[in-house]
Each structure stands twice: as structure tokens, then as C-alpha cells.
Amino acid sequence: MTNIFIDGEAGTTGLQIRERLHGLNHVNLLSIDAEQRKNPLAKQALLAQADAVVLCLHDDAARETVALVDELVARNVHAPRIVDASTAHRVSDGWVYGFAELCNAQPQLIKQANRVSNPGCYATGAIAMLRPLVDSELIASSAQVCLPSVSGYSGGGRAMIEAYEAARAPLFQLYGLGLQHKHLSEIMHWSGLQTAPLFVPSVGNFAQGMLVQLPLHHSHLNHAGGTAAVLKVLRSHYAGSEFVHVIDGGSNPANLDATALANTNDLELHVFGNDANGHTLLVARLDNLGKGASGAAVQNLGLMFGW
């Protein structure tokens, strides 16, 4: 039996993690009384009972809970392993990045880790496309790439969710137009890029789903082969993967529904090409709350505890 405390279980990500874990006969979910949520002593006492804590909090609050765990460790008291779904520790020393498909060694690193940083939703799609291309040197680490992207509104927090559900929000909107989105450092760190990508996120009038695009000019590829070379690299990297699927766009319909993978932990990498024009388009499709958040957290817990 694995005792799990979801710190921030009332938020969107926490609720979905709880839903995914509820009913598993090897999981016991711990909860803190609502009036005690901000009482550090009460929270620390609950942490000492947990095998794992999942942090579904803003960054500062996540750091506060990690400090409580650190105190338990310093006192030689039982302390939980941590999966942090905030952005606080995604490029921090001492934390294992929780994208299990990042490279061959990553699942084992997650299994052994006491502290796992859950990836961001956009970052998951971007890194899934970029890391194999950089590792194979099909594109240079200095490559200048663009990442136009769209997400469902459920990733935007309570105010955005309420605005969309009350029909007070635009049907489609760009944001992050200062071009310094919080996912940029994470994308660069784990993809191997040395040049910041031009990342343009947007929100559409749908609850869950995400498309992250990576347009490539063949003149920017280091090897011949065009779209076929891109497909070969991705298929090799994700061969045998349970949740990541590489799909040749030549056999696809002429459109791509951003919502098709809602409520799953799947990630699809679609590859479209026009070699006559020297163009390849990669598109990562995922659920921003599935493989992009809650699903990934549960996948990481499963690796950590051998489910």
C-alpha cells in the first residue's frame, strides 16, 4: 500500500490526479483538513505519514512544502518522496526530470529518485519533438526554431477557467507576448537547445487538449533525407514506447483535432512533409492535463513505486 498526499488537491491538476488514483487498491490517499491546509505543523505531520507527496501548488508554496520535507530528513524522521507539478524545480540540481521518454536512462532515474519534477504541458510536447532531433544531430543545438502552440483553457488557472465557462473570454487568444514564457528555460535545458526558441502560446475555447508545432525548413537539417529522416529519428527514439506514438502525416486526414487525446496519458507526434518545398511540420498532440500534467504525475508515481 502506497500512502500519497496530494498537496493542492482542490486545484485542477490535483483533482485529476486524485481521480486517476482513486480506487487503485494499492494506493491510500491522505488528505489534510481544509482549515489546516496553511498550518505547517499539521502539514508536516501528514507528510511524515506519506510515502509520496504530489505538489499541485504555486511555486512559492511548493518550495515551502519541500522545506518541510527537508526538516523531516534533517531530523531523521520518515519523509515522503516528492513529485512536484509546479515549475519550481524543473531545472534544479538534485531533481530528476519526470518525462520518462526523454532518453533511455530516464525511467530508471525516475524509479530511483526521491524528488521528481513533473514537466510542463507545452514543454512536454516541445521536448518530445526536439530532444531526439538534437541528440541525433539532425538539427544543431544552436538551431533557431519556432514553437507556435495552442492549449485548452483548463491549464490557465481558476480565473481563466471561470471566464471561459461563463462565455466571457475570447474564442482564441495569444498570450506570453513578452516572449519570455516560464517554460522556455525548461524547454532549452531538456531539449539540448542553446538558442531560445520563439515560443508563441495561445488558448482556445476548449477545456482540455494541446497542439505544439515545430516547423522545419530542410535547409536547417544537418543531414539529407528531409521528412523521411525526421520520421526515422523519432521512430527510433520512441520505439516500444507505451504512451508516445509517432505518426506519419502522409496517412492522416487533412486536419488535427487538439482535443482528441483528452483524458488520456498519450502523446502523439505527427510528422507532415512537403519535400518539394523543403518543409517538414512536426506537431505534438496531448492532453494538457493528461500527459501534460496529471497523467504524467501518475506515470511517474508508478515508476517510483513499481506499480
Report the catalytic residues.
121
Q: Which residue has 544537418 as its cell numbers?
A: 222
- Phi-psi domain of 159 (left: phi exceeds 0; alpha: psi -120 through 50; beta: other): alpha
Task: Judge whether 53 and 46 are in contact, CB under 8 Å.
Answer: no
Q: How many angstroms separate the CA atoms of 58 and 12, rounded?
A: 12
Q: How many angstroms separate the CA atoms of 107 and 215, rounded?
A: 29
Task: Judge whether 181 and 165 are in contact, CB under 8 Å.
Answer: no
The phi, psi pair for 188, rounded to 5°, reads -65, -45
Q: How many angstroms separate the CA atoms of 199 and 92, rounded?
A: 22
Q: Which of 264, 270, 271 is nearest to 294 (CA)?
A: 264
Beta-bridge mates of residue 147: 199
Count Cα neighbours of 147 within 13 Å in the Cβ-side half-sphere: 33
Beta-bridge mates of residue 246: 269
**Residue at 149: amino acid letter:** S
